[in-house]
Amino acid sequence: MQEYGITALQMQPSLFKKMTISKIVDKRKHENLGYFISEKYKNMIVDVIKEIEKKEKMAKLKILKKHQDLEFLELGIDDGLNIEVMKLIR
């Protein structure tokens, strides 16, 4: 993967035509600004990105579920949502 500075892209916008999958950085601030994915490769990568996002959301749901269960245990309350959330998690 090639790395391009934001200044170089501002000075030469034609670089985007040459890029396939590249990292965009701000070399002055030493920051990663993101990634550029050519339309040619976007279709291949979109499915992978969606799968990763789905896994991240499920992990967050599981953490929230555990936290919620602990709170209800402390209060001695069962809201009936436990079964519905477990169906979503699985």
Q: Phi-psi region for residue 61, left (φ > 0), alpha (ψ -120 to 50) or beta?
A: alpha
Which residue from 20, 24, 65 is spatially nearest to 42, judged by alpha carbons?
A: 20
Which residue from 67, 48, 49, 61 is spatially nearest to 90, judged by alpha carbons?
A: 61
- In whole angstroms, how far apart are CA 84 and each of 51, 77, 80, 89? 22, 16, 8, 9
Give pTM, 2 decimals.
0.44
- Provide block-wise average pLDDT over 10 residues at a time, the chain (90 residues): 84 83 86 83 80 88 77 57 53
Residue 18 tokens, joined: 């040459």
